[in-house]
Amino acid sequence: MKPEKRNTTLVDAYASILGNLTPADKIDLIAKLSETKEMSAKKKKNTFRKAFGAFVSDKSAEEIIADIRSSRVSTRQIEPL
């Protein structure tokens, strides 16, 4: 597996900008960045899990199939030769 390519130029640019922060502000920033990383991972996991079991109906499978088949409409018109 190849290592992930990182944009070191962007990271270096942010590091130079953030170099003027106080140590307390840097620690606060690190904490907030860590929180966003954790929230992002949780959000992806929850989004995946929400995809299952979303359809709820009182109808049986046979009734649903019959409804789908009866609602089909064909508007195809065959041109004369």
Instruction: Please state, for a pLDDT cut of 70, what percent of the chain lies above it.
Output: 78
| Secondary structure letter of residue 72 according to DSSP | -
- pLDDT range class, residue 54, cuts 50, 70, 90: low
pLDDT tops 70 at residue 45: no
pLDDT in tens, 16-38: 888 888 889 888 888 888 887 76
Contact indicator for 4, 12 with CB cutoff of 8 Å:
no
- Sequence-distant (6+) residues with CB within 8 A of 18 are 26, 29
- Give the residue, 50 or 64, on which the prediction is more confident: 64
pLDDT tops 60 at residue 2: no
Q: Please give the model's pTM, rounded to 2 decimal places.
A: 0.37
